Structure 1
Amino acid sequence: MKQRSRAGGGPTKSRSVAAKARTRGSAPKPARASASAGAKAKVAQLALELQEARERQAATAEVLSLISDAPTDLAPVFDRIVRNAARLCQSVLSAVYRSDGERVHLVAYDQFSPESVAAVRKAYPAPLSSGNLISVAVRERRLVHEPDVLVSGGYSELQRTSGYRSILVVPMMRDEVAIGAIAVMRLEPQLFPKVQVELLKTFADQAVIAIENTRLLTEVQERTRQLSQSLEELRATQDGLLQTEKLAALGRLVAGVAHEINTPVGTSLTVASAFVNKANRFEVDVASGGLRRSTLTEFIGASREAASQIIINLNHAVDLIQSFKQVAADRNVSDRRRFDLGEVTEQVVKGLRSGLRSENLLVRVECEPNLAMNSYAGPYGQVLTNLVINSAVHAFPDGVRGSVHIAAQALGKDKVEVLFSDDGCGMTADVRRQAFDPFFTTRRDQGSTGLGLHIVHNIVTSRLGGRINLETEPGGGTTFRIIVPREAPPEFTAK
């Protein structure tokens, strides 16, 4: 019986346990349903936030694209900013303002009614010292965020025509100076969400980038215009540079000038462009909230380096312009006068001996007496100076000892011959062919511009009315044979 009782009791107990299990299992169903609904709501909220973030990112990228595509046109950039600001901040009005230091000007707006436009035209430009909220934000360089202008006292004619109640104004800052502001206005009397405040700050920073780009490019274009004007002046002197056998080199002169000037200008533009790209990436980091101290430090360093490179290259361009002007051998440098060629030669060489850096170069002079000239002593001295310097730099590299010999003698009744020779390393046939060409040099890496012998040729053939020949061979030294008239021809007389 006991066994039957135990056997019979088994199913009953089992059913009881199952019933309890069912009871325990049925109780959490409402809680699970509630958790599932909450998770779905959270997912939906995250999806909405993600969509809004994507829209904000797309809007900022769109503005950056406009800045890149039209760096000198601010109107489309400002128009797109106010449209995106109005849409993403759910505002009834949005506007961009610029400051000239004394007044605030409205430069772009969105969703303004005709009445609002009329009110704005009446109110702006507004004095920077006024109580206008835009002026306050610019003058005090701070964000203005009023949940209800009727309560705070920010009432204006624009508020009356549009009916807005809340306003958010973000100043546009450049180097601690407010150069303008962006504002959005809403009908509801409430503060703008933090994410919209940050978005408007991003738009303000992008507006500053656009303004800075325009300013920098305008400055570069103005500098380029000045350099181009100088280039035109150089081109205007070409007729006086090569009036004899160097007419074929005129084209190379223009190409050389353009190349020499475009190199530093092109470098400056490249540096400026790279800096703009770095600024754009920096702006993206700021907008995403992922800005780190190291990134900021890197950006500051890059800014300083970019400015330094631009200044160095533009100063180099200025120095080149000054060198190019020497090519013209300005007729006003020296007056035509009577002089003894031997005496002037001795005077020039005496000054060169004391000024030469190398003590290993011996300069000897041997001139026939009484070589009376009616010509230009100054340009003749410049010819000798350039020839001596050319020998010191090119004929005797690395401090090698050597000598230069200058001899002058009469050639017939009306001409003189000056032989300038050195016992240096000489020139190859290829170098000899290009020796007088503008900007040709074998030592550009050491600062030579390739204008020394070109200037010599121009002075001899145009100013002094003579000719110059070059004889040289590798290892055999170099000789310049200069023949000039004792009386400078009338066509070369200074006017």
Structure 2
Amino acid sequence: MTGYDESWIQVDASKRHITYTRLPPGQYQLRIKGTNRKGQWSEHQINMSVTQLPAWYETLWFRIACILLLAALLYLAYLWRIRELTQQQIALDELVHSRTENISMLGTIGKDITSTLDLSSVLERVYKHVNELMVADVFVVGILDEPNQRISCQLAIEKGQKLPAFEYALSDTQRPAVWCVTHQKALWVNQISELTRYVNHIAPPVSGAESESLIYLPLIIDTRIIGCLTVQSFQPHAFSDNDVQMLRTIANYTAIALANADSVAQLESTFEQLQTAHEDLKVTQQQLVQQEKMAGLGRLVSGVAHEINTPLGIGITAGSYASKALSECEQKLATGKLTKDNLEQFMALLKESLQLLESNLNRAAQLVKNFKQVAVDQSIEELSTINLPDYLNDVLTSLHPKWKHTQVSVQTDFPSEARMSTYPGAIAQILTNLVDNAIKHGFDEGSQPGTVSISLTVSEDQIIWVVSDDGAGMSEDTLGKVFEPFYTTRRSNGGTGLGMHIVFNIITQKLKGTIECHSEAGQGCRYTIVLPNTLERAE
């Protein structure tokens, strides 16, 4: 069969046919040759044209139809896939949009919750937002009270009604809230019967007796548990995964807000305590300062009283002597024995006694005047204009008893005039404390010899006042603390440590000036005070 096989097929007389199966469609030439009985082939050959028609499914049209059908099926599959992808894209876009809106909404909720530092306001805002997002038939926030081992439920709302505050003991392990706090894990059930996965038996709840769906979430800030939040519904399967995820985010914001509110409450409490302590300290300090003032005034009174005793004693003696002489003169006059010489002697004695009495009474009057001026200036804080050198001399006159019977001398170097507007009482107290401090500390209560020097230098807008001594001086440590309140090296001798602190405060605060101290051990002390010439009245 030309076109199908190239070799001859031999058949005998018993089989005069050949069979071709699965002959492909096409044009063929069947060649036939025969032999005689002797096996000689005939030279005559028969050629037959054979046409093999294709089966219906082998036709070109069928194949084209199949191709078209396959193409149509592929196109339909493509369209279906495109539609499915489009639907998935739409669903994904909707999900992304929904999640974006949720994130934006949760961000807004978080800002609202954390924008307040008041505990009750935080809890109310949390409930408002949770109730808007999901079915919140029951809403409770419990705050852990670790010292008392309990969970305090300060906000509980059921069916929109606020319930009285209640609490759970941490030892009550059958409570879902206790389980949530102690395990620091979320608890979520869609049916109340599922609660037995977390607790041994279901205890009657204080709120939410009809609840079927429950979510408990721990409130954790960093790694510290501060409480729990629960949302409950009376319907089973009321909450979706999305609800739980949103509630987790709100719980995180709630934990931050509660931690902030607690920190602010603690700060406010601490501030109030500090404020109270500060006020108490101010009152105590004022009392101590007043006591120091009165003690200084008392010491001044004692010194002045001792100083006044001398002229008064002399005056009394002179008066007594004159009185005795007068009595003797009267007796002689009565007996007629008074002579001219007796009368002249009596007159001379009387004149001397009166002069002595007058001079000592004037001395006492001047001391009283100076003391009165200093005492009034220290007790009445009035702004007035004074001639500073004259005023300092008056104060030093009152203070003279402090060093009168010691080996200490006081030297001054004052200009004739240095007028200034100031508080005289403050000036007197500064000088009193500085002189007293020099005698006590520089010269060991006046037992050591030495000199206290006081000088004034006047410029256009200020006065430089220097008080120095050549006494014991101070160590570097003492110098650094000389103006600190309650610091003293003579506490065992009754020192309060307020003298120089009062001086510093008066100069820097009341008189608006400055004071510096320079000293070395064994080299004495030097206080340099700079004061303004004119001081405005404080409002």
Q: TM-score range by the shorter chain?
A: 0.3 to 0.5
Per the normalisation by structure 1, the TM-score is 0.44
| Structure with the higher helix share, 1 or 2 | 1
Q: Higher relative contact order at CA 8 Å, sep ≥6: structure 1 or structure 2?
A: 1
Per the normalisation by structure 2, the TM-score is 0.41
